[in-house]
Chains A and B, each alone.
Chain A
Amino acid sequence: MAEHEGSNAEQIAKEFKEHSVAEFFKKNMQMLGLTGKIKTLTTIVHEYVTNSLDACEEAKILPDIEVQLKELGAEYYEVTVKDNGPGLTKETVGKALGQLLAGTKFHRMMQMRGQQGIGAAGCTMLSQITTGKATEVITGTGKGPALSLEVTIDPKKNQPKIVNLHELKSEFKGTAIKAKFKGVKYVNSEQAPLEYLRRTAIANPHAKITLIEPSKKKIVFNRTVKEIPRKPTEMKPHPKGVNVDEVISLSKYSDTKKVSSFLKSAFDRVGDKAIEQIAKNITFDINIDPKQLTWEESEEIVKQFKKINFIAPRTDGLIPIGEDRIQKSLNGIVKPEFLSVVTRKPTVYSGGFPFQVEVGIAYGGEAGRGNAVNPDGEAERKMEIMRFANRAPLLFDTGGCAITRAVQSIDWKRYGVKDYENAPITIFVNLISVHIPYTSAGKQAISDEDEIMEELRLALMDSGRKAGAYIAGKKKEQERKMKKELFYKYIPETAWAIEAITKQSRKTLEKNLEKLVLEKLKLEDEEDEAQEIKKEIAKTSADTKKKAKENEDYSEEEQEEEEEEEN
């Protein structure tokens, strides 16, 4: 009986194990970002492209990535992504494409593009369960023959299964992955691969990205800078930013013998003074083996962490794109009339997480969403917000994101943008952090931490002011043009009449009247400028006086606000 029961239980366990990976995958598709036919296709493209970008960056190669989408049938597509990266070996192919959750990115305090759900292996799995087909790979390191193979995942073992492996005669450096998917769809919308790649190109100006659409139309986003970004460095977690669970898991990997030395080595900014203070206030011996730490003891440590005034975390591990590169990139891809970019200094949220905000405001040209149509049926550009977290575009869950809310919280009218939602404006926002506070596991929206909101607002106001000055200048220019046209309209008849009476040359009169009008308008411009300089001087001196009066706690935000009011 027992044996029988045992075999039954074993059977159940075996079955569970066989199905577990695939089942888990299917059941959690939603959580993994695989909802909707359009979004799923974008997620697939994202996984492959992110891998390519990361691999190139790691190998210090300027990425050249080509994405090709082919429609094979109704909601049935083939995705091919080809890069010029370092290539994969037989072993690494299996890990990268044939094993779920095999990434090396977990539990690392490092600024990363970040997976948005499934990873490239997830794509292999998705292809497998929707089409029954293997993922084809050609990869080469540039040394020796390239490999051609097909990979699937053994759902029982969560292990790669590689078939049709053979060496190619030609050399090849890079990786090309081809996979087929059902239940996906290609359209041209803001959440589709084209927009995803456009934004990826903007945030990665060192990459050249090509898309070949199902219609065979080829769209190329050219490289605008030639330097490869610095590799982010790994940073120890700051004591203000850890929870009990993290303390325990870190303690398990520690080589140290005492909790005191574990705390000093595993966390940023923890020194002897802090250890002294912790030792005094905990109920257990700080010299015990860290591997023995209980949940309750860890709780005590976290509690002490909260009480101690640590120096703010190091921020040098953050790699912004940089004002200069964002400029080049937006100029190359959005081709605006005017662009203002601000990279803020790094700072910290929740006491323990370094982060940094970059904002670019592009106006005119191809800025704004281009596919909007006004009531007269004419194409009309509307404001678009391009959200990025560590350079990776966030396309979904727009309304729930701190970036969107920060944009909405700005009074754009102050900057001369009357109806900002219907203006040809692209607002680029990149949030960089070792730990992006996403609102949910879908990783598509950033939660509105106070410090993040404030930094976002300051950056938006700063570049908004510059953009506003440009827009105001443009308006003035238009007014000037209108005035000129108005005067010019009356010149021919005036000259005709004077000629009729005086017999003086109409042509000379016309020419001289035009000259007079131009000189008058130029004079007006100069007067306007003088007026503005006067205002600026008055404002600056008022500010200086005010600043002298205020105490040091006067926050930058308040200052900005008051300057606004004076304008």
Chain B
Amino acid sequence: MAKEKKPKKTRSTTETPEAIAQRIEEMAGNIAKEINSNQDPTFSTQQRGRNNVEFDEDKGLLMLGDKVTSRNFLNIGHAKKFMQTMMVSAKTHNYLKQNKTASIREVYYELKHTLGKSKENTFEDQTESDACIVDLEHSVNTIREKLNLHANPKGTLYGDIILRDRKHNNDEFNAAKLGRGGWSIMSRIEPEEIEIVKVNAEYILVIETEAMYERLVEENFAKKNKAILISTGGQAARGTRRLIQRLHSEGKLPVYIFTDGDPYGWYIYSVVKQGSMALAAHSNFLAVPDAKYIGMTLEDVEDFGLQNVTEKMKDGDVKRAKEMLAYPWFQNKEWQEELKKAIKEKIRIEQQALANKSLSFVADEYLPKKIKKKDFLP
């Protein structure tokens, strides 16, 4: 990893679809010019993967480095990717022109077909078209939302917050008045689509499991504690992360993250807080470096007497925990202690283990106590 390289360049999120379409035209125009003037057609994109991702200590964010790579049609290893990226560009350009949006899976299916008389497909699976989308995002310096693309939505919102769907009759709704199901978070949460009209809450509670979220809704936790509940349903989707980030930056609300006390839960926390390897290019508007980890912790086990409901960590979990010990954002006293203890005792603790005390224990005792005492991991 190059030391002196600082992540830079924040991708614009305010451009019009016409401007983005024009940039795709410029890129394709250059390629056409190269082809018609006897030059190897090429476009550049940011290098993806581990060796072009760095942790920015100042910002507390995982950022994509500035290593650029070029794709040449005449490189035998690039030719197919070149074709695929051109196809995705054409499709996206078409969406922008038609003012349509599509899921990245739809893009895949729209473009998938057999190549000529061969037995080969344009795309063998969705990971191939997804990779092209990431390349295109960089090549025209934008984000996929601006390309009228979105991932499959996942995640739910509940709480006293009024949103307006600007792309759908300007519908205004309060997320505390949609019944127990709350609002299904869309994958495109950009301000020109979803406007945050009013927030009446003191903090955001991000919850790993749907079951815990339902428990807290049933216990009327949001209303009693002036909280906004967001369930991620496992790893947080792009839309959910964008919503958390916007509520934090626009609504000035602190973010508390509540997951199982195990490597998977810790990783959910770290993605929401620092960003992810795959979307490192977008950490600026997806991650919340100020987010705090509320639990579950091994200290909780002692504080709340949960020793008899811990689970054994599997070998894979222990290995994963050991890797996490080395992550730059876990280089603080609290996390080192937590991880080392887990590795040593080989135990993990689930959110729902709190039910061992009583169903309402989490809502009546655990969370209020921890928030009041600011008993968080950084």
Contacts and interface: CB of A to CB of B under 8 A. Distances in A.
With most chain B CB atoms within 10 A of its CB, the pick from A490, A500, A517 is A490
B115 A489 contact: yes
Nearest to B24: A501
Interface in A483-502: 483, 486-487, 489-490, 492-494, 496-498, 500-502
B83 A497 contact: yes
Interface bin, chain B: 20 to 34
Interface string B76-90: 100110110011011
B94 interface: yes
A56 B28 CA distance: 78
A504 B41 CA distance: 15
B183 interface: no
Contact of B36 (A496, A509, A520): A509
Interface residues of A, number: 24
B87 A493 contact: yes
B25 interface: yes
Nearest to B81: A490
B135 to A, nearest CB: 14
Contact of B86 (A497, A515, A517): A497
A508 B76 contact: no
Interface in B89-143: 89-90, 93-94, 115-116, 118, 120, 122
A515 B25 contact: no
Chain A residues touching B, majority SS = helix
B36 A508 contact: yes
A488 B352 CA distance: 57
Interface string A368-394: 000000000000000000000000000
B211 interface: no
A30 interface: no
A502 B73 contact: no
Given A494-B86, A498-B28, A504-B32, A489 B73 contact: no
A339 B39 CA distance: 41
A512 interface: yes
A513 interface: yes
Given A492-B115, A497-B86, A516-B40, 14 more contacts: A483-B76, A487-B74, A490-B73, A490-B80, A490-B83, A493-B122, A494-B83, A497-B28, A498-B31, A498-B35, A501-B89, A515-B38, A516-B73, A517-B74
26 contacts: A487-B74, A487-B76, A489-B115, A489-B118, A490-B73, A490-B79, A490-B82, A492-B116, A493-B83, A493-B115, A494-B82, A494-B83, A497-B28, A497-B87, A498-B31, A498-B90, A500-B90, A501-B28, A502-B29, A504-B36, A508-B36, A509-B35, A512-B35, A516-B40, A516-B73, A517-B74
Interface of A: 483, 486-487, 489-490, 492-494, 496-498, 500-502, 504, 508-509, 512-513, 515-517, 519-520
Interface of B: 24-25, 28-29, 31-32, 35-36, 38-41, 73-74, 76, 79-80, 82-83, 86-87, 89-90, 93-94, 115-116, 118, 120, 122
